[in-house]
């Protein structure tokens, strides 16, 4: 249910947000350059993929996130496996073009859990033989038909934006071909209102039936399958078995209600879904006012109050969408600007650049750009892979560029620590304490960044694109529209201190330094706090998925058999060695020390003759 909720909500909110880039299917023409931490593959994807294929990829994203998500809840393993394959394929593409820390890895780990899930106790056991193959093909055929039907409901091929002129004689087919999204927020809400209650009720009752069967089979197995050994306390054994059985039945009973509680955010997608009965109680507008004597209502309260279940809205609206006066030329000359009857996608990624003023040994002070490890900065610095590592400073700089420094007081604190050359803070950048010596002032400026573009037909249709030439042959980025973000701040600036005190930010480095120097338990607790247990979750999830996959492939059983054989061989070998040692010890010593050598020589002579 969690994986279904993640993917379905991620797809639906893109339409509900009314973001023009998603509605026009041009989101990927911005996304590759405007995402927080792009990779080198993003530059190639933006430059070398035709805009029609870019928009076709956006359409495929909608089908995968909205349509293929329903396959994850199918009662048969073959259909769930198809849904997992599709989702894993999407996560691989996302991971190749952008660094999103552990997000892709955890999503894939959840896919493995859905893929190998066998908790129905034979209710949907695969049919063997020819009938089994035919049933599998029929299930996959129905799944493909569902995805095809949804694609027909979502899109139309060959659409053009009204008012755009395209020369049909001289334009290529790719430039004339268009694909349009037919849905808007009302259609998306209608789909959610019809399908979410039906899907969640079916999932709830299916989970209830399978867990009821699991409770019967499991409790019977625990209580009566194994015989009681002789010379054991029969009453104590059956009491312990009864306790295990009751615990197992309780877990099986609570599981459907926990699943329904996890699905709560799905019912916040539209106002109408708040009034739907799912499947026992009704959702009020304020979940904290639920006062019904039902188990399910109690779980809704727990999930809401403990923040155990959340909604998702990945890239609900696209950032870095630029505007230009040359948009007006699109209506007058459609062949010159834009593609397939749509305006050009002008990328304007807001990016903050820190600049420091350094003393130059008696000479005039100069401003120098400070380097970061992963985020865009110098134009010739290529994007870098960071996942699953989380460069938090580089990541937060992307969010800070979407607002003002008044809403990001930590950035002023960062500048203050850099002015004092605090080693722990300087190490977050691609700088050293030696390179930061002599800094007197630091300021923050903002640019509009975009990838440099290769000279092809569609990039020439973007008015602000920086086409590759000899001057910028080695540049990955281009920037324009310089403006001030934070004015130049000197060391111990009184206004900066007052701003930080007003924002509640004090000496932020003392606590970290104390924790690192103290060592022991405090140090490791600090590390766990800093990383939020991310690596523990990743290692646990992947080890679990790996062992489950190895067990499904039969490799664990093979390793067990090999280890047993090796143990038996070692035991027999050691027994032989011990027998030989004992035989040598019991044998009488020879009186003539040269008898053995003479016997060996005579034996050799006999063999020669």
pLDDT digits (tens, 9 = 90+) for 121-154: 444 455 667 887 888 889 899 999 999 999 989 9
Distance of CA 15 to the CA centre of its chain: 21
Which tops the pLDDT comparison, 353 or 361?
A: 353
Determine the pLDDT at residue 271. 81
Instruction: Give me the mean pLDDT over the 9-23 stretch.
Output: 92
- In the three-class reduction of DSSP (H, G, I as helix; E, B as strand; rest coil), residue 522 is classed as helix
> For residue 527, what are its two tokens?
């590390």
Q: Which of 384, 373, 385, 388 is nearest to 534 (CA)?
A: 388
**pLDDT value of position 520:** 53
What percentage of residues in the chain have a pLDDT greater than 70? 67
Q: pLDDT tier at 601 (50, 70, 90 boundaries)?
A: very low
d(CA 17, CA 184): 9
Residue reference for tokens 């809205």: 313
Cβ distance 165 to 334 under 8 Å?
A: yes
d(CA 211, CA 431): 57
Residue range 421-450: average pLDDT?
A: 92
CA distance 590 to 594: 9
Residue 450 pairs in a beta bridge with: 478
CA gap 301, 290 in Å, rounded = 8
pLDDT band at 607 (very low <50, low <70, confident <90, very high): very low
CA distance 207 to 587: 73
Per-residue CA distances from 471 to 75, 211, 376, 452, 468 (Å): 59, 67, 19, 12, 8
Q: What does the pLDDT average to over 277-290? A: 44
Distance CA 271, CA 289 (A): 17
Indicate the range of 134-143, 330-339, 373-382, 492-501 predicted with least confidence.
330-339
Which tokens belong to 39?
């990779």
How many Å apart are CA 369 and CA 382, to the nearest integer?
A: 16
Whole-angstrom Cα distance, residue 591 to residue 589?
Answer: 7
Give CA–CA dist 141/211, Å, rounded. 29
**What's the rounded Cα separation, in Å, for the pair 140 and 76?**
10
Q: What is the mean pLDDT of residues 341-369?
A: 85
Mean pLDDT of 38-55: 91
- Non-local (6+) Cβ contacts of 181 within 8 A are 15, 22, 23, 24, 25, 59, 62, 154, 155
Q: How far is CA 442 from CA 447, 448, 449, 485, in A?
A: 16, 20, 21, 12
Evaluate whether 355 touches 378 at the Cβ level (below 8 Å).
Answer: no
Q: How far is CA 329 from its chain centroid?
A: 40
Which DSSP state fits 68? G
The answer to whether the beta carbons of residues 434 and 358 sit under 8 Å apart is no
Supply the mean pLDDT for the chain.
77
DSSP-assigned letter for residue 255:
H
CA 455-459-462 angle, 5° bins: 135
What are the structure tokens assigned to 98, written together?
Answer: 């952008």
Residues 6 or more apart whose CB falls under 8 angstroms from that of 536 comprise 528
Nearest 5°: CA angle at 324, between 322 and 327? Answer: 110
Cis amide linkage into residue 12, ω under 30° from 0: no
- Report how far apart the first and last C-alpha atoms of the chain are (Å, whole number): 85
Instruction: Give the neighbor-by-neighbor strand order of the sheet with 363-369.
Output: 363-369, 349-360, 439-451, 477-490
- Structure token digits, residue 44: 């190639």
Which of the residue ranges 46-55, 174-183, 282-291, 587-596 has the most confident prediction, judged by mean pLDDT?
A: 46-55
Q: Characterise 362 by phi-psi region: left (phi > 0), alpha (psi -120 to 50), beta (else).
A: left
| Tokens representing residue 466 in the block | 């920086």
Query: What CA–CA distance (Å, rounded) separates 82 from 68?
Result: 9
- For residues 30 and 37, the answer to whether their CB atoms sit within 8 Å is no
Mean pLDDT of 525-547: 59
Q: Are 108 and 91 in contact (CB under 8 A)?
A: yes
Nearest to 4 by CA among 139, 206, 274: 206
Q: What confidence category does residue 78 fall into, taking pLDDT thresholds of 50, 70 and 90?
A: confident
In whole angstroms, what separates CA 277 from the centre of its chain? 32
Residue 524 has pLDDT above 80, yes or no: no
- 430 Cβ partners below 8 Å, 6+ apart? 371, 372, 373
**484 in helix, strand or coil?**
strand
Distance CA 470, CA 341 (A): 32
What's residue 342's pLDDT? 77
Statement: residue 476 has pLDDT above 80 = yes
Give residue 310's Cα distance to chain centre: 16
Backbone angles phi, psi at 320, to 5 degrees: 75, 25
pLDDT score, position 311: 74
State yes or no: pLDDT of 86 exceeds 90: yes
Residue 368 has pLDDT above 70, yes or no: yes
Q: Which two tokens stand for residue 523?
A: 């140090």
Average pLDDT rounded to a whole number, residues 239-246 = 80
Are the C-beta atoms of 509 and 419 separated by less than 8 Å?
Answer: no
Residue with the bigger pLDDT between 375 and 228: it is 375
Main-chain dihedrals φ then ψ at residue 413, nearest 5 degrees = -65, -40
Beta bridge partner(s), residue 38: 98
């Amino acid at each position: 249910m969690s994986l279904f909720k993640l993917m379905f909500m991620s797809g639906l909110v893109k339409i509900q947000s009314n973001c023009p880039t998603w509605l026009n299917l041009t989101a990927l023409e911005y996304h590759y350059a405007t995402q927080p931490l792009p990779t080198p593959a993003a530059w190639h994807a933006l430059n070398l993929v035709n805009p029609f294929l870019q928009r076709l990829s956006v359409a495929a994203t909608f089908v995968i996130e909205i349509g293929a998500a329903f396959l994850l809840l199918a009662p048969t393993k073959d259909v769930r496996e198809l849904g997992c394959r599709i989702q894993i394929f999407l996560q691989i593409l996302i991971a190749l073009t952008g660094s999103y820390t552990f997000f892709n890895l955890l999503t894939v780990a959840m896919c493995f859990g859905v893929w190998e899930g066998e908790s129905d106790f034979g209710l949907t056991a695969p049919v063997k033989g020819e009938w089994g193959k035919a049933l599998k093909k029929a299930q996959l055929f129905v799944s493909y038909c569902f995805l095809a039907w949804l694609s027909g409901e979502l899109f139309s091929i060959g659409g053009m934006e009204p008012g755009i002129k395209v020369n049909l004689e001289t334009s290529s087919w790719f430039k004339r071909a268009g694909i349009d999204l037919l849905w808007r927020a009302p259609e998306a809400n209608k789909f959610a209102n019809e399908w979410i209650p039906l899907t969640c009720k079916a999932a709830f009752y299916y989970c209830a039936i399978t867990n009821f069967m699991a409770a019967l089979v499991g409790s019977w197995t625990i209580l009566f399958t194994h015989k009681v050994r002789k010379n054991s306390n029969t009453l104590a054994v059956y009491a312990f078995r009864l306790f295990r059985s009751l615990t197992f039945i309780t877990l099986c009973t609570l599981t459907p209600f926990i699943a329904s509680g996890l699905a709560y955010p799905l019912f916040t997608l539209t106002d109408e879904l708040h009034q739907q009965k799912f499947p026992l109680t009704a959702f009020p507008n304020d979940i904290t006012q639920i006062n019904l004597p039902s188990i399910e209502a109690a779980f809704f309260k727990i999930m809401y109050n403990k923040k155990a279940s959340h909604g998702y809205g990945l890239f609900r609206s696209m950032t870095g969408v630029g505007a230009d006066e040359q948009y007006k030329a699109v209506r007058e000359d459609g062949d010159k600007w834009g593609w397939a009857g749509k305006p050009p996608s002008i990328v304007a990624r807001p990016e903050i650049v820190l600049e420091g003023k350094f003393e130059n040994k008696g000479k005039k002070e100069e401003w120098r750009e400070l380097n970061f490890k992963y985020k865009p900065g110098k134009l010739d610095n290529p994007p870098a892979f960071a996942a699953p590592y989380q460069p938090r400073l580089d990541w937060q700089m992307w969010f800070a560029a979407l607002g003002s420094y008044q809403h990001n007081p930590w950035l002023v604190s960062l500048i203050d620590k850099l002015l004092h050359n605090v080693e722990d803070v300087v190490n977050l950048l691609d700088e050293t304490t030696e390179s930061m010596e002599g800094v007197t002032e630091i300021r923050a400026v903002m640019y509009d960044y975009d990838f440099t573009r290769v000279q092809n037909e569609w990039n020439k249709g973007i008015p602000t694109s920086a086409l590759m030439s000899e001057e910028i042959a080695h540049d990955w980025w281009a920037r324009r529209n310089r403006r001030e973000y934070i004015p130049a701040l000197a060391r111990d600036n009184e206004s900066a201190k007052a701003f930080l005190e007003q924002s509640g930010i004090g000496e932020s480095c003392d606590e970290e330094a104390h924790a690192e120097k103290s060592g022991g338990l405090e140090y490791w607790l600090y590390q766990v706090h800093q990383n939020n247990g991310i690596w523990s979750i990743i290692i646990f999830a992947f080890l679990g998925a790996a062992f489950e996959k190895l067990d499904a492939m039969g490799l664990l059983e093979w390793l067990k058999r090999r280890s047993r054989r090796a143990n038996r061989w070692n035991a027999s070998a050691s027994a032989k060695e011990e027998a030989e040692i004992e035989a040598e010890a019991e044998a009488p010593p020879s009186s003539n020390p040269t008898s053995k050598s003479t016997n060996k020589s005579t034996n050799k002579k006999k063999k020669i003759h």
